[in-house]
Chain A
Amino acid sequence: MSGELNIYLRLTDAFNSGRPRALLAGGQAVVLYRLAIMSKDGDWILREDEEALQHVLGVLAAHGARYRFGAPLALPWMCGGWSAHFEFPYEGLRVRTDFVTRPPRLAQETLAELWREQDRQPPEPAEAKLGAAHLILTKQTHREKDYAAIGELARLLEDPGMALRYSRSARDILELSVRHPELLAAARQDRPCLVAVGEGREALAAALDAERRSLMIRNEERLERYEQAARDWAAVWPTVQKEIEDLPLPEAHARMLAAATGCLPTAVPALI
Chain B
Amino acid sequence: MQDAFLSEEDLDLRTLSFEELNRVWNAWLRQAQATNERDRQEYSHGVFRREPEIRDQSQPPPAGG
Interface residues of A (CB under 8 A from B): 1-7, 9, 25-27, 31, 34-41, 43, 68-70, 81-85, 92-94, 96, 98-100, 147-152, 168-172, 222-223, 226-227, 230, 234-235, 237-238, 241
Contact = CB atoms under 8 A, between A and B. Distances in A.
Interface of B: 1-3, 5-7, 10-11, 13-14, 16, 19, 21-26, 28-30, 32-33, 35-36, 43-49, 51-52, 54-55
Contacts, number: 128
Contacts of B55: 238
Contacts of A168: 3, 5
A93 B16 CA distance: 23
B44 A6 contact: no
Contacts of A223: 47-49
A31 B21 CA distance: 9
B41 to A, nearest CB: 9
Given A1-B26, A96-B44, 10 more contacts: A6-B29, A31-B13, A34-B14, A35-B13, A37-B24, A98-B43, A152-B6, A170-B3, A172-B2, A237-B52
Nearest to A7: B29
Contact of A37 (B2, B13, B51, B54): B13
Given A40-B33, A82-B47, A149-B6, A34 B13 contact: yes
A204 to B, nearest CB: 11
Given A148-B5, A238-B52, A6 B22 contact: yes
A85 B46 contact: yes
